[in-house]
Amino acid sequence: MARVRFDKLRKVFGRDVVAVAGLDFEIADGSFVSLVGPSGCGKSTALRMIAGLEEPTSGRLLFDDRDVTGLEPRDRDIAMVFQSYALYPHMSVRENLEYGLRKRRVPAAERDQRVARIAAMLHIEPFLERKPRQLSGGQRQRVALGRALIRDPEVFLLDEPLSNLDAKLRVHMRAELATLHARVGTTMIYVTHDQLEAMTLSDRIVVMSQGVVQQIGPPEEVYARPANRFVAEFIGTPSMNLMAGELDEEGGKARFRRNGVTVPLPDSLTAAADARQVLLGIRPEDIRITADSGEATIPAQVAVAELAGAEKYIYLDVAGMQIIARTDADSPVRGGDRVGLHFRPDRLHLFDGTSDEAKAIRAG
Amino acid sequence: MTRSFRRSLAQGRTYLLVILLLLFVGFPLFWMLMSSGKLNSDIVRIPPVWIPFLPTLEHYEELFEVTQFGRWFLNSLLVCSLSTISAVTLGVLGAYSLSRLKVRGKELLGRSVLLAYMFPGVLLVIPLVLVFTRIGLMNSQVGLALAYLTFALPFVMWVMRDFLASVPVDLEEAAMIDGASRLEALRDVVLPQAFPGIIATGIFAFLFAWNEYLFAAVLVRSHDLQTLPPAMANFASAMDTRWGLIMAASTLATLPMAIAFAFVQKYLITGLGAGGVKG
Ligand SMILES: Nc1ncnc2c1ncn2[C@@H]1O[C@H](COP(=O)(O)OP(=O)(O)O)[C@@H](O)[C@H]1O
Ligand SMILES: [Mg+2]
């Protein structure tokens, strides 16, 4: 097991494709960390640099206090699960599992023992003598996990390991991965574009966009206090509602204004704002819908109410913008209704400016 | 009814075509085999003797007793094996580099390989003679094998490059993470995927060398060291063409290739098919 430290790690492909613009953080020993971001943001490149498959343009990589930047993959004591699984097609499942042990000259008796243990743990004993092509997607996935686990590596890397599975199996394997991590306790670094996977599995998530880290933190924190507009929109489904408007003041009270609609803001939020043009953010579940459009509420019109099993998504028109609210499934609201909205004041997010990097304005 | 009739008609047409093609390709072979067993007087008789009533082995006996056929045959085997093994070994390594490593000017290099392959052999003979004379490789079997590399190596590289490119990079990366060096990953994981392609390519490289006449005739002069094609050409002289001898020698020279093809047919089909790698 090891702590992994990125020291200004950077990767540029060719002359000017900046895949990773500079990673500078630490992953605690034994933790489960996800790199998450849209496709092309540099997650795989970051992971491949940890594996030694991609040479950094600059910066250093340390396992504990050992500088591994220039080491070959085989000298790093890492294991990796590929999105494609990359099982050796001409070898049986047993040979696949054993390959790494053979390369490390583990004696036959111990190899058998370890194969037996891993096979039992992942429930793949019945397939040990089969070839990968004779296995289903889920079984291949287990073998790929097994091949990585069997070596008992210091760091365990996973690049979108679940994305080739169908939805149901994915949820199942997600739970198994969590159990597995709890059991083996190895440092795991997990790459995914699926924010839900990242949220459910990780101790900490690293949100990336265009090669740049946007925010690092425990999932709850990243969800509750996104650092900027990008994170706010990327984390959570449906995404956070964002409304562009102006900061304004009336009688010493700060408020947000857009097309004649005003939202009073807690004082704590506005103190730090520089710009007058801001984004107001509110998550769908933090909007309460009332039938009366009284004084304290924001008037809105319901476009569609969509039932999604245990809950309903209400698409609302507010001051010429569409926003989404999430309610219980038994909400009586229907398309065409005129309603009043109430935004939970402690759950309002305010962003300084309207660009992707617009910083969240924090109290204090 | 009409549909099944039409289908069998189409099938019949296909069979007819295949049979015609087989006759076209097979007849010379048949004639060669038959003539090798005929008495000299029967070979050129008109109307032709199709199948010798009492086949004779006299031409085969003469081949081994009077001529040095056995030695030439071994010479050919030696030279062709040497050039094929070196071409496949070097070619596969070269093709792997071209398909994987990040080298500057890789594309240009790749294209010049094709150019080297297409370069007509006739134009190479004179320069080769000059160079070989100077470095003492004239009249040597190693020299001849080396000369064969001028087409065998680019051929192997060109064909294998696409084969190796079709093997997923993930596989060897997984192997390297598992503890293999790059060469071990190539040996353990990549080559087994490309095996059908390697066999097919090797057979073709061997076949080219086996049938090659020009280099063999010019670069190796002494009788003892000669390979089959130029040696057999001597059976036909201005005075007299020894048809029986030629036919017997040709029959024997065809055998190794026929056997090789029969054995590796399976690989040839997968190997020359689409990419050759299955999930
Ligand atoms: N081998 C490469 N050569 C050139 N550009 C690359 C290479 N690998 C990745 N890139 C580029 O680097 C960026 C990040 O890629 P990647 O790390 O694969 O993203 P992600 O895994 O987040 O989808 C992309 O713009 C991609 O096109
Ligand atoms: Mg990726």
> Which mean pLDDT values do the consecutive 10-residue runs of chain A (364 residues) have?
91 94 94 96 96 96 94 94 95 97 95 95 93 93 94 94 89 91 93 95 96 96 95 94 87 82 80 73 94 78 92 92 93 90 91 85 63
Ligand 1 pocket check for A49: Cβ under 6 Å? no
Residue A232 forms part of a structural domain? no
Nearest to A74 among B176, B189, B193 (CB): B176
Residues A241, A284 contacting (CB under 8 angstroms): yes
Ligand 1 center to A233 CA (angstroms) = 22
Q: Which two tokens stand for residue B132?
A: 């070989």
- B42: Cβ contacts below 8 Å, ≥ 6 apart: B49, B52
Residues B45, B227 contacting (CB under 8 angstroms): no
Interface membership of A72 toward B (CB under 8 Å): yes
In the predicted model, residues of chain B with pLDDT beneath 50 are: 274-279
CA dist., res. B216 & res. A247, Å (int):
90
Ligand 1 center to A39 CA (angstroms) = 9
Interface membership of A90 toward B (CB under 8 Å): yes
Interface membership of A15 toward B (CB under 8 Å): no
Cα A292–chain centre separation: 39
A209 and A256 belong to one structural domain: no
| Alpha-helix residue ranges (DSSP H) falling in A275-363 | none
A167 and A36 belong to one structural domain: yes
CA dist., res. B62 & res. B169, Å (int):
56
| Alpha-helix residue ranges (DSSP H) falling in A59-124 | 93-103, 108-122
| Helical (H) or strand (E) element with A157 | strand A155-159
Chain A residues touching residue B176 (CB < 8 angstroms): 53, 72-74
Please give the C-alpha separations between residue A39 and each of A73, A194, A294, B218, in angstroms, as whole numbers. Answer: 25, 10, 44, 61
Supply angle C-alpha B85, B87, B93, rounded to 5: 105
Q: Which residues are paired to A256 by β-bridges?
A: A247, A263
Supply angle C-alpha B119, B123, B128, rounded to 5: 105
CATH assignment of the domain containing A90: 3.40.50.300
| Helical (H) or strand (E) element with B249 | helix B243-272
User: DSSP state, A292?
Assistant: S
A221 and A269 belong to one structural domain: no
Q: Which two tokens stand for residue B48?
A: 């032709």
Task: Name the residue ranges covered by the structural domains of chain B.
Answer: 1-56, 62-278
Residue A281 forms part of a structural domain? yes
Chain A residues touching residue B168 (CB < 8 angstroms): 84, 86
Architecture per CATH, domain B62-278, reads as: Orthogonal Bundle (1.10)
Chain A residues touching residue B175 (CB < 8 angstroms): 88, 99
- Number of domain units in chain A: 2
A202 and A60 belong to one structural domain: yes
Distance (Å) from the alpha carbon of A19 to chain B's nearest alpha carbon: 17
Closest CA to A29 of A180, A181, A222: A181
Ligand 2 center to A3 CA (angstroms) = 23
- A126: Cβ contacts below 8 Å, ≥ 6 apart: none
CA dist., res. A226 & res. A218, Å (int):
11
Q: Which two tokens stand for residue A257?
A: 């204004």
Distance (Å) from the alpha carbon of A270 to chain B's nearest alpha carbon: 51
Distance (Å) from the alpha carbon of A139 to chain B's nearest alpha carbon: 15
Interface membership of A100 toward B (CB under 8 Å): yes
Helix (H, G, I), strand (E, B) or coil at B104: coil
For chain B, give percent helix, strand, coil, nearest 5.
75, 0, 20
Residue A158 forms part of a structural domain? yes
CATH assignment of the domain containing A255: 2.40.50.140
Interface membership of A349 toward B (CB under 8 Å): no
Cα A158–chain centre separation: 13
Q: Which residue, of A206, A226, A246, is where some domain finishes?
A: A226
Interface membership of B184 toward A (CB under 8 Å): yes
Chain B residues touching residue A133 (CB < 8 angstroms): 278-279
pLDDT value of residue B101: 81
CB burial class (10 A; 0-12, 13-18, 19+) of residue A184? Answer: middle
Range of the domain at A286: 238-363
pTM of whole model > 0.90? Answer: no
Ligand 1 center to A323 CA (angstroms) = 34
Nearest CA in chain A to B277: A89
- Is the Cα torsion angle A84, B164, B182, A8 positive or negative in sign? negative
Among protein residues, the one with the nearest Cα to ligand 1's atom 5 is A13
CA dist., res. A108 & res. A116, Å (int):
12
CA dist., res. B83 & res. B79, Å (int):
6
CA dist., res. B152 & res. B205, Å (int):
5
Residue A73 forms part of a structural domain? yes
Q: Which residues are paired to A282 by β-bridges?
A: A241
- Is the Cα torsion angle A68, A71, A75, A81 positive or negative in sign? positive
Beta strand pairing call for A253-258 and A261-264: antiparallel
A188 and A253 belong to one structural domain: no
Q: Which residue, of A165, A193, A226, is where some domain finishes?
A: A226
- A45: Cβ contacts below 8 Å, ≥ 6 apart: A11, A19, A20, A54
A283 and A168 belong to one structural domain: no
A264 and A173 belong to one structural domain: no
Q: How many CA atoms lie within 13 A of B154 on its CB side?
A: 17
Residue A214 forms part of a structural domain? yes
Intra-chain end-to-end CA distance of chain A, in Å: 38
| Helical (H) or strand (E) element with B214 | helix B214-219
Chain B residues touching residue A52 (CB < 8 angstroms): 177
pLDDT value of residue A322: 92
Residues A71, A42 contacting (CB under 8 angstroms): no
Q: Which two tokens stand for residue B189?
A: 């994981």
B178 with A53: Cβ contact below 8 A: no
A53 with B168: Cβ contact below 8 A: no
Q: How many CA atoms lie within 13 A of B29 on its CB side?
A: 11
Interface membership of B187 toward A (CB under 8 Å): no
Residues B228, B72 contacting (CB under 8 angstroms): yes
The ipTM value here is 0.87
Among protein residues, the one with the nearest Cα to ligand 1's atom 10 is A19
Q: Which two tokens stand for residue A128?
A: 């040990």
Residues A326, A289 contacting (CB under 8 angstroms): no
Q: Which residues are paired to A327 by β-bridges?
A: A312
What Rg do the C-alpha atoms of chain B give, in angstroms? Answer: 23
Q: Which residue, of A184, A199, A226, is where some domain finishes?
A: A226
